[in-house]
Amino acid sequence: MPATHTLTMLCDFRTEKIREAGATSKVACEQWKAAKPARRHIKGLLEQMAPGRIRCMYCLDNRGTDIDHFEPKARTPLRTFCWDNHLLACSHCNSNAKRDSFPCDPETGVCMLIDPTVDDPADHLKLMPKTGELKERTSKGWHSIEVFGLNRDELREGRADACGMLISGIIRWHDQVLRGKVEAAARTAVILRRSDFPEVLRTLEGLAGTPRASILEDQYFPEALSAWVASLHHQGSIPPMRTDSATSLSVRS
């Protein structure tokens, strides 16, 4: 989602203020604190993009209450009001986990965290649906798990619980479809798509038509899952997905 014209004007004004005052981290913090209209606009747009019910774009578990600067203000003061540098985060991920962490490759200077504005987290993370644990595919995945604390107990348990509920939900949806209960099936589909752990649903969808769909110990699930994914492709709701996809950080669209 692009920034509005009003937000762009507000942010450009504050960025110029920072530049004129020497572009220090102190000035950036002062301008950020004083920019109530800009912060209000930024948060409003981020909330429209947030997964589930305005969830944190890092953990997807808690409500997103804070505006996080992906690249910290202390590191690049002139990016304080850059729209692509803002993400909605819960207070734990913003103030307790990430804070000013921004690990970079010592040779190339490239950031070693998944950047939700340009990276697909599924390229870097793999979700184990039964346990709720995230495994790294790449160095970026490993650093992101460590910095954001993506495998803390409440997140792993939440993902595992979500897996069980989504499996039951998909089976219920399929049963409703088979019984011709069109309206009930449509309501169930909406609930499933609004789940608070969308990466769990995406991972399950990636198992459709593969032997791994049967590892979840429900005899009705593989058929129900294949029907669910087929319906989404038919509606154009999702693109073809690879097996074992996972996403823990939201990609800005």
Provide the residue ranges of all domains of the chain, joining segments of one domain with +. 1-102, 154-235
Distance of alpha carbon 226 from its chain centroid, rounded? 25
pLDDT for 31-46, tens place per residue?
A: 999 999 999 999 999 9
CA-CA distance, 229 to 238, in Å (whole number)?
A: 8
pTM, 2 dp = 0.81
Q: In which residue ranges of the chain is pLDDT below 70?
A: 51-52, 216-217, 236-253
pLDDT at 64: 92
pLDDT at 170: 96
